[in-house]
Amino acid sequence: MFDRILYGGDYNPNQWEKAVWSEDMRIFKEANINSATINVFSWAKIQPSENEYYFDELDEVIEMLSKENYDIVLATSTAAMPGWMYKKYPEVAHVDYDGRTHKFGGRHNNCPSSEIFRKYSSRLAGKLAERYGSNPHVTCWHINNEYGNYCYCEKCEAAFRVWVKDKYQTIEAVNKAWNMEFWGHTLYDFDEIVVPNALSEGIGYDKTAFAGISIDYCRFMSDSRLETFKLEKAAIREHDKDTAITTNLMGTYKGLDYFKWAKELDIVSWDNYPAYDTPWSQVAMTHDLMRGVKDQQPFMLMEQTPSQQNWQAYNSLKKPGQMRAQSYQTIAHGADTIQFFQLRRSVGACEKFHGAVIEHVGTENTRVFRETAELGEELTRLSEIIGAKAPSEVGMIFDWDNYWALEYTSGPSVDLKYVDQIHKYYRYFYDQNISVDMLAVDADFSNYKVIVAPVLYMVKEGMKEALQAFVENGGTLITGFMSGIVDQSDNVHLGGYPGPLREMCGIWAEEIDALAPEQSNTVVLADGTTGTSHLLCDIIHLEGAESLAEYTSNFYAGSPAVTKNNFGKGQVYYFGTELEPALLDKILADATAAVKPVLAEPTKLEVAVREKDGHRYFFIMNFTDEELPLPAEFVGKTDILKGHVLEEHDLAKYTTYLVKM
């Protein structure tokens, strides 16, 4: 995709006097910055009125960057509409969950069903492509920015009715799918369908009386936002047939089905903003998800901060070495770019305290800049890694339909969160340095030895058959509580939990007990190891499976808590409760015994691998608070980041090496 690692980020010279521009170019050169994302929020500047366009300033910016041999990531500016559009066409405004129509202000402020917005956003994208598409320095198009916000206006309501009719064909099918006999909600015509917000079916933003309609509205809104992206993409392609097109995703953002979106992106890009207390395993997992949404292809890191965020509750500084180590973790998990928000700190508004390569002091004489320059110098030597793949024997299912459905369900616990449950299993593999691919539910499972599917609450058409074939052919499936419960419309699979997975798992879960945060049960493994379990507890009956752990407290003491079932040539592990990490790890170690970590020697270091042209690139990183010994396998090898031979020694926190073997 690129012939060098893009290193740069979001740049807004239009916010500054032109005298600052040349100073920026001088300072950026010292950091080996080679790319800039521009024009992200310039719609009002470029189009001051309905039929007037002004490109003079953008022409100057692009000419300056082209002369400096920058790779330009050119945005279409459509994430915030100009004021004249609201004034003349107030119907472009979005309506929020509470039914309030928004005024001019903020961003992500349009209704995706608005034909006015669609007309002018795609027209602007086309004009930009017509003007700049032939410039060889424009190496990537960036449409909109961080898509989000649902709309509940009358236009979206009308469009939703059309979407529903296309999907279900008849109103009888809608009633069945949404179980509208409940509470006497039977529909007789499509025009009786209303959007599920606080004025209708909503019970707070994340709860609903009718999950069927609410899940479908998530699907519809994701599709609607995607349609606006596709319109801009088509407008660009009228003038530029080849340049890569992307938009920046947001990791585990709940609102949009990124597996579906990734099919329309030439390359995935995303913005990485962990909090001060986000586990490094969860950061790694999210990178893997962004690689996974487009069939394990390398991705772009579109945004990270060089120092601190401005919008979280506690915006702590990145400690010395942290930004560098975090950047290499990103590359280790599949990134071919490192880009920042932002290159120069804004003088005002809500992001003025968001970190930047050039701080408010306006010079290169800062710790942050020195670290940025160090990383930039190293990245100039790493073009050989572009396109390298991250091989994995373990696949983990991540599915937005399940994400929406699980967190809409009324019970059994408000503490049951989809991403948290995925991460509890991912953390084990991270600690063992076992590479994981994040997979869609319709992925090809045959390339993996182990498939992990926590809280696979919604089993849609074809999923049972795909998983069953995987296990019958010798694979290991790991699943557990709140799996196999409902179909694609959130209606329960009758016949006992875990529904379509019951035969494969060899168990029947009769009841599901919810434990409050202060409650726990005790559990004993088959080898006598004891510990605790939390959150949920399935009360399980064996139907061919063997028990690997039993409850030793509560009225269901003595019943199985974890099971294993041989099925065909493979096996299924079922976790009926949330085990404490030590117990979970012990059973997962047995379940994944056939899977090899990237490094045989046990270590608390994160060691990740990318492969290309017969070479393996080992990223060795210390994200712990301990000093940890260098694994013996790397003693005597050369760290290609600094060019020195590695000797036996301890690595301090954030120490990072890259070894080619």
CATH number of the domain that residue 493 is part of: 3.40.50.880
Does residue 42 form part of some domain?
A: yes
Question: 591, 624, 650 — which closes off a domain?
Answer: 591
Q: Clarify whether residues 432 and 452 are in a common domain.
A: yes
Q: Clarify whether residues 485 and 574 are in a common domain.
A: yes
Q: Clarify whether residues 622 and 564 are in a common domain.
A: no
The pTM of this model reads 0.98
Q: What is the pLDDT of residue 109?
A: 87
Eight-state DSSP code of residue 385: G
Question: 533, 564, 591 — which closes off a domain?
Answer: 591
Active-site residue, from 146, 201, 359, 578: 146
Q: Could you tell me the residue range of the domain that residue 186 belongs to?
A: 154-216
291's enclosing H/E stretch is helix 280-292
Q: What is the pLDDT of residue 19?
A: 93
Does residue 596 form part of some domain?
A: no
Q: Clarify whether residues 34 and 125 are in a common domain.
A: yes
Compute the distance between CA of residue 312 and CA of residue 120 in angstroms, rounded to an integer. 33
Q: Clarify whether residues 506 and 625 are in a common domain.
A: no
Does residue 39 form part of some domain?
A: yes
Compute the distance between CA of residue 212 and CA of residue 185 in angstroms, rounded to an integer. 12
- 621 phi, psi to nearest 5 deg: -140, 140
Q: Clarify whether residues 159 and 145 are in a common domain.
A: no
Q: What is the pLDDT of residues 399-435, one digit of tens each?
A: 999 999 999 998 899 999 999 999 999 999 999 999 9
In sequence order, the 6+-apart residues with CB closer than 8 A to the CB of 237 are 129, 245
C-alpha closest to that of 613 among 451, 289, 282, 386 = 386
In sequence order, the 6+-apart residues with CB closer than 8 A to the CB of 412 are 482, 512, 513, 514, 536
Q: Number of structural domains, the chain?
A: 4
What sections of 441-483 are H helices per DSSP?
Answer: 463-472
End-to-end Cα, the chain, rounded Å: 24
Q: Is 172 a catalytic residue?
A: no
Q: Clarify whether residues 257 and 136 are in a common domain.
A: yes
Q: What is the pLDDT of residue 108?
A: 85
C-alpha closest to that of 574 among 442, 446, 483 = 483
In sequence order, the 6+-apart residues with CB closer than 8 A to the CB of 431 are 281, 585, 604
Question: 216, 237, 259 — which closes off a domain?
Answer: 216
Q: Clarify whether residues 137 and 165 are in a common domain.
A: no
Q: What is the pLDDT of residue 589?
A: 98
Does residue 599 form part of some domain?
A: no
C-alpha closest to that of 658 among 611, 604, 619 = 619
Q: Clarify whether residues 408 and 447 are in a common domain.
A: yes
C-alpha closest to that of 626 among 608, 646, 607, 605 = 605
Q: Edge to edge, what strands does the sheet with 606-612 contain?
A: 606-612, 615-621, 656-660, 638-639, 644-645
Q: Which residues of the chain have pLDDT under 50?
A: none
Helical pair 367-379 and 322-332, crossing angle rounded to 10 deg: 30
In sequence order, the 6+-apart residues with CB closer than 8 A to the CB of 225 are 112, 147, 256
- 537 phi, psi to nearest 5 deg: -140, 110
Q: Clarify whether residues 487 and 633 are in a common domain.
A: no
Does residue 597 form part of some domain?
A: no
CATH number of the domain that residue 629 is part of: 2.60.40
Q: What is the pLDDT of residue 75?
A: 98
Does residue 544 form part of some domain?
A: yes
DSSP state string for 300-332: EEEE--SS--SSSSS-PPPPTTHHHHHHHHHHH
Compute the distance between CA of residue 506 and CA of residue 510 in angstroms, rounded to an integer. 13
Q: Clarify whether residues 454 and 491 are in a common domain.
A: yes
Q: Clarify whether residues 344 and 462 are in a common domain.
A: no
Active-site residue, from 201, 303, 371, 378: 303
HSE of 311, CA atoms in CB hemisphere, 13 A: 7
Q: Is 146 a catalytic residue?
A: yes
